[in-house]
Amino acid sequence: MADRRAQLVTRVRGMLAEALGATRTRLSAAQAELTADRERLARIRRAAAAVPERVGAERDRRLAEIDERHAARIAELTRRAAAAAGRESPGAASAEWAGWSPTPPGRAEPPGALRIGTLRVAGAEPVPALVPLLDAGHVELTGADRDGGETVVSALLLRAVGRAGPGGVRLVGYDPEHLGGGLAGFAPLGTAGLLTFVGPGGLGRLLDDLVEQIRRINETVLAGEYGSLRELAAATGRRPEPWRVAVLLGGDELSRHERGQLDRVVRTGAACGVHLVVRGVSLPDDPTVTRVRVEPDGARVGAPPGLPVRLDPPPPATLVTETCRQVAARVNAGPAPTPFTDLLPPPERMWREDSATGLTAPIGEGPDGRPVLLTLGDYPPHALIGGPSGTGKTNLIFAWIGALAARYSPAELEFYLLDFKEGVSFARFAQGRRDPSWLPHMRLVGINVNTDREFGLALLRFLAEELRRRADAAKKHEVTKLAELRAVDPTGHWPRIVAVVDEFQMLLAGRDVVAREAADLLEDLARRGRSQGIHLVLASQDVRGIEALWGRPALVAQFTLRIALPKALRILAERNDAAQSLPRHHAVVNAESGMTEGNQVARIPSASDWETWSELQHRLWRMRPQDAAPARLFDGDAIPRLADAPDFRALAAPETGTLRNPVALLGEIIDVQARSAALRLPRAPGRNLAVLGTRVDEACAVLDAAARSLARQHRPGSARFSIACLDPDADPAARSLYEDLADDAAWYDEETVAELMAETADGLTAPGGSGSPHYLLLFAVDAAAGSLGARVGRRTGLEHLRRILHDGPERRTHVLAWWRGVARMRADLGGPAARTDQIGAWVALDTHGGELGSSLYPGTGGPDWYPRPWRGLFFDRAVHRTGQVIIPYGPSR
């Protein structure tokens, strides 16, 4: 039992010990866990204590970053805003006053908004505060700061004036309280009509006028084609109307009518360049109205509350007046010319027009900004241009020729041009020494023809011949008009011809044969040229020119196109005085024979200065057809050279035998092709030449050309030239000829001339005397009267001479002699009543027509010949009905 007890005790003890041990183990585990948890708690507490500090730092960092980004963004935005403002408001629209000057916009460029100050943005660069005005809207100023308001008005107006170009802005002021005081600095504009004031009580009229302008611009300028002048300018590069800015500074309450008109201007003005700048007058709410409020504590712009603006200082008073003075001076000096290129098609469109039915080209710009066109065709066929000297007639001719030449190719259009006044500006159309180009359409340019009316006549004859050729061709093809002829003969060369004669009255002056024939030819060309594509353009600075035509109403009636330059008289119809009030560089163009209803005013571009013209001419010249020849230039002041004469160059000696019909060239004929006057010297009675007059140089020139041209037709040694010089003044010329003719020439003087006569006369009777040609060139033969009066053998020298004149030509012996007067020649021929039929041809120099009467010239009284320097009258009784004016060739060396 005890054992059992003891066993029991032991078991209990063991169990207790086991339990104790387990408990202890659990306790220590629990204690360890407690410690660990405590430690964790302490750690967590520590960590928790650190969190707010870190989060705050993070938050601050993020905030700082956002601030920085924001500041950079603001800076970027303001920079961009400033740059945009710079673009939106270029040059004078926003420049600082120091160094400010007007900068008119380019052709299609908008004027831009106008700066009045800067917008303030903390920490960023200032942004210009811009107010849209020109082409954009209206400005209403309010607020108690009067001076500040005035600053804004003068800044806006000066910037507008500076952005518009001279005359581009017109101001109307209405300032009933200060009577214009607020705009005093702009007063110089008044001298050019660019600033007008409306007195108290005039507001209604002013607004009515603005509304009327808007209506007119909408109807006639925009004409449904464009929505605004801004659009028109962008599309065409033209701005036909100025901007009109009405500055209304206070006044009484508006009447109902005035209010209504003001509202209309606000709604519709900006599209038509009509703008308001007002203070003390309220404008209706409209997107085009910008409000600027100027209070003593600052200014704000835009719809309330508006953006705060720091206003610019006012423009310096001297800058305002000086700018306005210069603008007014420029406007008073006349409008700047429009560029010549406005008249030209773009290069790729040049020479693309067809002239079958007519020629149309712009000549300038009308008041509505559209081109004013000139047409030549069946109607109107011919043009009359008039304007006093210096009003731009020459320039207009250049502009018209240029506009036509750029559109029509030389196959479609040819020009003939004649200038009767002194000057060489038209010489440019022909090839020159300095400039190798020429206008490919130009066939003939006559300059300095003032004394050579025959040249005008020659041109008219040439055109009459061309008219006949065209009429014949039309008849052959059974058509009547050029357009039809071109249709049935498409490969034919039928360009329209425009003949321009400047100072044409010179051609019709006087009552002589030239004037009569010229008027008849003109009348015929004017009447019939219309349908054959020959158009006349006659210009005159002088009312007498026009009057010269007035006596021929049938002729005048054909000139239905009239162009009157400022102050031109009698070009337009009698009661049409539109030309009297024309500004400089303008013309009235009228295709209704000058009747008032046909008036069109055109502003003519400057076309005649050398650079402007030559740029076009060079372009067209480079486009010329390969076989194009330069225009013939006839310069009345130039002396032609024999060596250059086409007829001289064409002469040549025959390979074998003797030439049967040699010709002596005497000078250049005044005609359209530079032909030479030619005297034929066949074996026929009378084939001798007399040169008559006292002018040594001209007489020598005629004989020299005759001898040299004859020599060119004979092989060396096949003709004989006997030169007798009896006037020492003629010696150098005669000697030079003698030397050049070399072995074929023999020299005689006073001592030996009688021998020449005797030997030549005797030779005529010798058998076989008609062998080789013999030319006697006798310089001042009348001076040998003494030595020729003496007998040589049975006869005197003079008798031998008469015999040579009489019998020589049939034996190839011709006398080409210079007598210093008709009476002296007659004396040598046998006395005043002597026959002159052995002188078959003569050239009269300073010998009046009256002296050439009786047997030397058909009819009575002699030819219509008034001697003039370096000209002669050539008459060959074998071929001429009337004399022919010639220009002797200049010295050969």
Ligand X SMILES: Nc1ncnc2c1ncn2[C@@H]1O[C@H](COP(=O)(O)OP(=O)(O)OP(=O)(O)O)[C@@H](O)[C@H]1O
Binding-site residues for ATP, please?
A: 387-394
Minimum CB distance to ligand X smaller for 291 or for 393 = 393
> Which part of the chain contacts ligand X (CB under 6 A), choosing from 58-66, 387-395, 667-675, 861-869?
387-395
Q: Which helix (H) or strand (E) holds 311?
A: strand 307-311
Minimum CB distance to ligand X smaller for 31 or for 389 = 389
Minimum CB distance to ligand X smaller for 174 or for 504 = 504
Interface with ligand X (CB under 6 A), residue total 16
716 binds ligand X (CB under 6 A): no
Which residue type sits at 456?
G
395 binds ligand X (CB under 6 A): yes
CA dihedral 387, 392, 396, 402 (to 10 degrees): 160
Q: Apex CA 193: angle with CA 188 and CA 194, to 5°? A: 70
Q: How far is the CB of 373 from ligand X (least distance, A)?
A: 17
DSSP code, position 250: -
In the complex, which residue's CB is closest to ligand X?
392
> Restricting to residues 525-584, which ones interact with ligand X according to CB under 6 A?
541
DSSP code, position 642: G
428 binds ligand X (CB under 6 A): no
Cα(695)–Cα(517) distance, rounded to whole angstroms?
A: 30
Cα(50)–Cα(636) distance, rounded to whole angstroms?
A: 113
Q: How far is the CB of 543 from ligand X (least distance, A)?
A: 13
Among 10, 23, 28, 389, binds ligand X (CB under 6 A): 389
Among 193, 284, 390, 583, binds ligand X (CB under 6 A): 390
Minimum CB distance to ligand X smaller for 446 or for 533 = 446
HSE-up (13 A, CA, CB side) for residue 251: 23
The 298-337 contact track toward ligand X, x by CB under 6 A, reads ---------------------------------------x
Are the beta carbons of 447 and 634 closer than 8 angstroms?
Answer: yes
Output 790-796 pairs: Cβ under 8 A, ≥24 positions apart.
790/754, 792/754, 792/755, 792/757, 792/758, 793/758, 795/758, 795/761
Provide the β-strand partners of residue 129: 117
Minimum CB distance to ligand X smaller for 134 or for 604 = 604
Among 606, 658, 854, 892, binds ligand X (CB under 6 A): 606
Q: How far is the CB of 693 from ligand X (least distance, A)?
A: 35
Cα(438)–Cα(737) distance, rounded to whole angstroms?
A: 36
The 334-373 contact track toward ligand X, x by CB under 6 A, reads ---x------------------------------------
Q: How far is the CB of 117 from ligand X (least distance, A)?
A: 41
For the chain, the maximum distance between any two Cα atoms, rounded to a whole number of angstroms, is: 223
DSSP code, position 218: I
CB atoms within 10 A of CB 9: 12
DSSP code, position 608: -
Q: How far is the CB of 612 from ligand X (least distance, A)?
A: 9
387 binds ligand X (CB under 6 A): yes
Among 113, 508, 604, 726, binds ligand X (CB under 6 A): 604
Q: How far is the CB of 711 from ligand X (least distance, A)?
A: 45
Q: Which residues are annotated as a binding site?
A: 387-394
> Which part of the chain contacts ligand X (CB under 6 A), choosing from 80-88, 100-108, 392-400, 810-818?
392-400
> Which part of the chain contacts ligand X (CB under 6 A), choosing from 162-170, 300-308, 590-598, 600-608?
600-608
Are the beta carbons of 447 and 529 closer than 8 angstroms?
Answer: no
Tokens describing residue 620: 């067209």
Minimum CB distance to ligand X smaller for 333 or for 766 = 333
> Which part of the chain contacts ligand X (CB under 6 A), choosing from 193-201, 517-525, 598-606, 831-839?
598-606
386 binds ligand X (CB under 6 A): no
Which residue type sits at 506?
M
DSSP code, position 720: E
Minimum CB distance to ligand X smaller for 541 or for 576 = 541
Residues 6 or more apart whose CB falls under 8 angstroms from that of 624 comprise: 410, 440
Q: How far is the CB of 618 from ligand X (least distance, A)?
A: 20
Q: How far is the CB of 82 from ligand X (least distance, A)?
A: 41
Q: Which helix (H) or strand (E) holds 556?
A: helix 553-556
585 binds ligand X (CB under 6 A): yes
Place of tokens 């518009």: 164
> Which part of the chain contacts ligand X (CB under 6 A), choosing from 243-251, 325-333, 514-522, 599-607?
599-607
In DSSP notation, 754-818 reads HHHHHHHHHHHHSTTTTSS-EEEEEETGGGGHHHHHSEETTEEHHHHHHHHHHHTGGGTEEEEEE
Q: How far is the CB of 611 from ligand X (least distance, A)?
A: 12
Minimum CB distance to ligand X smaller for 406 or for 754 = 406
> Which part of the chain contacts ligand X (CB under 6 A), choosing from 143-151, 383-391, 611-619, 716-724?
383-391
> Which part of the chain contacts ligand X (CB under 6 A), choosing from 46-54, 55-63, 245-253, 393-401?
393-401
Minimum CB distance to ligand X smaller for 499 or for 681 = 499
DSSP E strand boundaries for 352-495: 358-365, 371-377, 383-386, 413-419, 442-447
Q: How far is the CB of 391 from ligand X (least distance, A)?
A: 5
Which residue type sits at 644?
D
The sign of the dihedral angle between the CA atoms of 23, 24, 25, 30 is positive
239 binds ligand X (CB under 6 A): no
Q: How far is the CB of 397 from ligand X (least distance, A)?
A: 8
Cα(187)–Cα(782) distance, rounded to whole angstroms?
A: 82
> Restricting to residues 609-628, which ones interact with ligand X according to CB under 6 A?
609
Cα(288)–Cα(273) distance, rounded to whole angstroms?
A: 12
Minimum CB distance to ligand X smaller for 66 or for 333 = 333
Q: How far is the CB of 542 from ligand X (least distance, A)?
A: 9
608 binds ligand X (CB under 6 A): yes
Are the beta carbons of 797 and 757 closer than 8 angstroms?
Answer: yes
391 binds ligand X (CB under 6 A): yes
Are the beta carbons of 505 and 555 closer than 8 angstroms?
Answer: no
Helices 146-164 + 317-332 axis angle, to 10:
30
Q: Return phi, psi of residue 114, to 5°.
A: -110, 135
Q: How far is the CB of 357 from ligand X (least distance, A)?
A: 29
Pair type for strands 298-301 and 307-311: antiparallel
Q: Where are the alpha helices (DSSP H) in 137-226?
A: 146-164, 203-216
Q: How far is the CB of 501 from ligand X (least distance, A)?
A: 13
Minimum CB distance to ligand X smaller for 56 or for 334 = 334
Minimum CB distance to ligand X smaller for 385 or for 561 = 385
Query: Under the rule (CB under 6 A), what is the footprint of ligand X?
Result: 337, 387, 389-395, 541, 585, 604-606, 608-609
